[in-house]
Chain A
Amino acid sequence: MSKNLYQPVNSEIVDIIDESPTIKSFVVVAEEPFKFKTGQFVELTLPGEGEAPFTPSSSPADTEKMEITIMKAGRVTALLHESQKGQKVGIRGPYGRGYPVDDYVGKEIYIVGGGVGLAPIRSLFLTLVDRIQDFKSVVCRFGAKAPDDFIYKNTLFGAWQNIDGVDLKLTVDEANGDWNGNVGVVTKILNRGDVDVRNAVGVVCGPPIMMKFATLKLLEFGFAPKDIYLSMEKNMSCGFGKCGHCMLGKYYVCKDGPVFTYEQIKGYRNIWD
Chain B
Amino acid sequence: MKMVILPKESLPEFIGHLCPFGELHVPVKVSEKSYAFGRVNDLSDIELNYTRTILPLKKYVFKPVDVMFNFCAATGYETTVEETDAKRVIFGVHPCDIHGLKILDLVFGGKYVDGYYSARRNKAAIVGMDCIPDEFCFCRSTGTDFVDTGFDLFLSDIGASYLVRVGTSLGDDMIRAADSLLREVQEQDRQAYKRRSTQRRESFQTEVQLQELPEIMDLEYDSEVWRRVGDKCLSCGTCSMVCPTCYCYAVFDELDLAGGSGRRQRRWDSCLFKDYALVAGGHNFRPDRDSRIKNRYFHKQRGFVSQHGRPSCVGCGRCKVYCLVGIDIVEVIKELRSEIRV
Q: Which of B77, B247, B278 contacts A7 (CB 8 A)?
A: B77
Residues facing B in A223-273 (CB within 8 A) are 233-235, 237-238, 240-245, 247, 249-250, 269-270, 273
CB distance from A113 to the nearest CB of B (A): 17
Chain B residues lying within 8 Å of A242, measured Cβ to Cβ, are: 107-108, 112, 114, 247, 249
Chain A residues lying within 8 Å of B307, measured Cβ to Cβ, are: 250
Chain B residues lying within 8 Å of A51, measured Cβ to Cβ, are: 251, 253, 264
Q: Does the CB pair A10–B77 fall under 8 Å? A: yes
Chain A residues lying within 8 Å of B76, measured Cβ to Cβ, are: 10
Q: Does the CB pair B77–A8 fall under 8 Å? A: yes
Q: Does the CB pair B277–A235 fall under 8 Å? A: yes
CB distance from B133 to the nearest CB of A (A): 29
- Distance, CA A1 to CA B79, complexed state (A): 8
Q: Interface centre among B114, B221, B259, B307, by most A CB within 10 Å?
A: B114
Q: Does the CB pair A244–B81 fall under 8 Å? A: no
Q: Does the CB pair A240–B79 fall under 8 Å? A: no
| Contact A52 to B280, CB < 8 A, known contacts A243-B269, A244-B248 | yes
Chain A residues lying within 8 Å of B262, measured Cβ to Cβ, are: 47-48
User: Would you call B22 an interface residue if the criterion is a C-beta within 8 Å of the partner chain's C-beta atoms?
Assistant: no
Q: Does the CB pair B278–A235 fall under 8 Å? A: yes
Which B-chain residue is minimally distant from A236 (CB atoms)? B279
CB distance from B17 to the nearest CB of A (A): 30
Among the stretches B65-73, B89-97, B183-191, the one at the interface with A is: B65-73
Which A-chain residue is minimally distant from B80 (CB atoms)? A1
Q: Does the CB pair B280–A77 fall under 8 Å? A: yes
Chain B residues lying within 8 Å of A250, measured Cβ to Cβ, are: 302-303, 306-307
User: Would you call B276 an interface residue if the criterion is a C-beta within 8 Å of the partner chain's C-beta atoms?
Assistant: yes
Chain B residues lying within 8 Å of A269, measured Cβ to Cβ, are: 221
Chain B residues lying within 8 Å of A249, measured Cβ to Cβ, are: 303, 306
User: Would you call B252 an interface residue if the criterion is a C-beta within 8 Å of the partner chain's C-beta atoms?
Assistant: yes
Residues facing A in B254-297 (CB within 8 A) are 255, 259, 262, 264, 266, 269, 271, 276-283, 285, 295
Q: Which of B112, B116, B264 contacts A241 (CB 8 A)?
A: B112
CB distance from B215 to the nearest CB of A (A): 12
Chain A residues lying within 8 Å of B271, measured Cβ to Cβ, are: 244, 247
Chain B residues lying within 8 Å of A240, measured Cβ to Cβ, are: 111-112
CB distance from B238 to the nearest CB of A (A): 17
User: Would you call B334 an interface residue if the criterion is a C-beta within 8 Å of the partner chain's C-beta atoms?
Assistant: no
Chain A binding surface, main DSSP class: loop
Chain A residues lying within 8 Å of B249, measured Cβ to Cβ, are: 238, 242-244
User: Would you call B119 an interface residue if the criterion is a C-beta within 8 Å of the partner chain's C-beta atoms?
Assistant: yes
- Distance, CA A51 to CA B69, complexed state (A): 13
Chain B residues lying within 8 Å of A45, measured Cβ to Cβ, are: 264
| Contact A234 to B116, CB < 8 A, known contacts A47-B73, A50-B251 | no
CB distance from B325 to the nearest CB of A (A): 23
CB distance from A86 to the nearest CB of B (A): 12
User: Would you call A155 an interface residue if the criterion is a C-beta within 8 Å of the partner chain's C-beta atoms?
Assistant: no
Residues facing A in B282-324 (CB within 8 A) are 282-283, 285, 295, 299, 302-303, 306-307
- Distance, CA A47 to CA B259, complexed state (A): 10
Q: Which of B77, B255, B278 contacts A90 (CB 8 A)?
A: B77
- Residues of A within 8 A of B (CB-CB), count: 42
Q: Does the CB pair A273–B285 fall under 8 Å? A: yes
Q: Does the CB pair A243–B77 fall under 8 Å? A: no
User: Would you call B177 an interface residue if the criterion is a C-beta within 8 Å of the partner chain's C-beta atoms?
Assistant: no
- Distance, CA A233 to CA B269, complexed state (A): 20
User: Would you call A49 an interface residue if the criterion is a C-beta within 8 Å of the partner chain's C-beta atoms?
Assistant: yes
User: Would you call A6 an interface residue if the criterion is a C-beta within 8 Å of the partner chain's C-beta atoms?
Assistant: yes
Q: Does the CB pair B107–A6 fall under 8 Å? A: no
Residues facing B in A16-55 (CB within 8 A) are 45, 47-52
- Distance, CA A6 to CA B282, complexed state (A): 26
User: Would you call A154 an interface residue if the criterion is a C-beta within 8 Å of the partner chain's C-beta atoms?
Assistant: no
Q: Which of B112, B116, B251, B295 contacts A247 (CB 8 A)?
A: B295
| Contact A4 to B115, CB < 8 A, known contacts A74-B279, A244-B249, A269-B221 | yes
Chain B residues lying within 8 Å of A270, measured Cβ to Cβ, are: 285
User: Would you call A76 an interface residue if the criterion is a C-beta within 8 Å of the partner chain's C-beta atoms?
Assistant: yes
Q: Sorted from nearest, which 5 A-B pairs have the closest CB atoms?
A: A74-B280, A244-B248, A250-B306, A73-B281, A240-B112
- Besides A7-B68, A49-B253, A50-B253, 16 more A-B contacts (Cβ < 8 Å) are A1-B79, A5-B114, A5-B115, A6-B264, A47-B71, A48-B262, A52-B280, A71-B281, A90-B71, A233-B279, A241-B107, A244-B247, A245-B250, A247-B295, A247-B299, A269-B221
Q: B: which residues have CB within 8 A of A?
A: 68-69, 71, 73, 76-77, 79, 81, 107-108, 110-116, 119, 221, 247-253, 255, 259, 262, 264, 266, 269, 271, 276-283, 285, 295, 299, 302-303, 306-307
Q: A: which residues have CB within 8 A of B?
A: 1-8, 10, 45, 47-52, 71, 73-77, 88, 90, 208, 233-235, 237-238, 240-245, 247, 249-250, 269-270, 273
Could you jot down 5 A-B contacts, CB within 8 Å?
A: A4-B115, A10-B76, A47-B253, A90-B71, A245-B248
